[in-house]
Chains A and B, each alone.
Chain A
Amino acid sequence: MKKNTFYLLAGCIALILLAIFWYSVEIHNPLLIEFAFVIGIACAYFARTRVTDLIDDERSAKITEQAVLRTFQVFWVGFCALSIGAVMQILYVPQFPREFLLRRSPELLSPRMMGYFQLGLLCLMIFLYVGFRMYYARKYGEWEIDEE
């Protein structure tokens, strides 16, 4: 399989997954998109092994490696700080005699909202990764102009 065929196939898989996502929203069945997502990614990985052109070499592997490392180095600090705060809120046990409401530290987010917030942070991680990837791609001469 050629490199461009693979990219085309990956695009088709993404479109099919998007359609399945909205269909599963329509029929209120989250299991459908969950299974479809796993199967779709497995298909993409399998197709990638069949590509005969060269897609990546040691330089592109290094770019990916560095971007992943930096993303996790930055992300886990923020995510854990928020999660620790959430655990503190969940573990809050009223003391006796009850304190005045004013003395109690304010609740920033309810446990349910905290879950949504963490989910949002996970989505933001993708943007963080893309940013780092672009930075390292530039550092290792991805968009250098040929002088030949």
Chain B
Amino acid sequence: MKNKIKVFRAMHDLTQEDLAQTIGVTRQTILAIEKGKYVPSLDLAFRIARHFQVTLEEVFTYED
């Protein structure tokens, strides 16, 4: 699973800590998702996408 969280964060001028606090997770979780170490739940993925006001597919891309 690839994601563009880092890109969207840069576009919105947000730090990992800012995003983490808004979404309700730890900064380490945002870092782990960005690096592809952790695949978020559907609920968390939607919360991230909704925060950036984009669709889920724009943030996350599924790869075989």
Contacts and interface: CB of A to CB of B under 8 A. Distances in A.
Interface residues of A, number: 14
A58 B40 contact: yes
A140 B37 contact: yes
Interface in B11-60: 15-16, 24-26, 28-29, 31-32, 35, 37-38, 40-41, 44
Interface residues of B, number: 15
A148 B25 contact: no
Contacts of A57: 24-26, 29
Contact of B26 (A54, A62, A146, A148): A54
B37 A54 contact: no
Nearest to B38: A140
A58 to B, nearest CB: 6
Given A58-B41, A58-B44, A141-B37, A146 B25 contact: no
Contacts of A148: 15-16
Interface in A49-93: 54, 56-60, 62
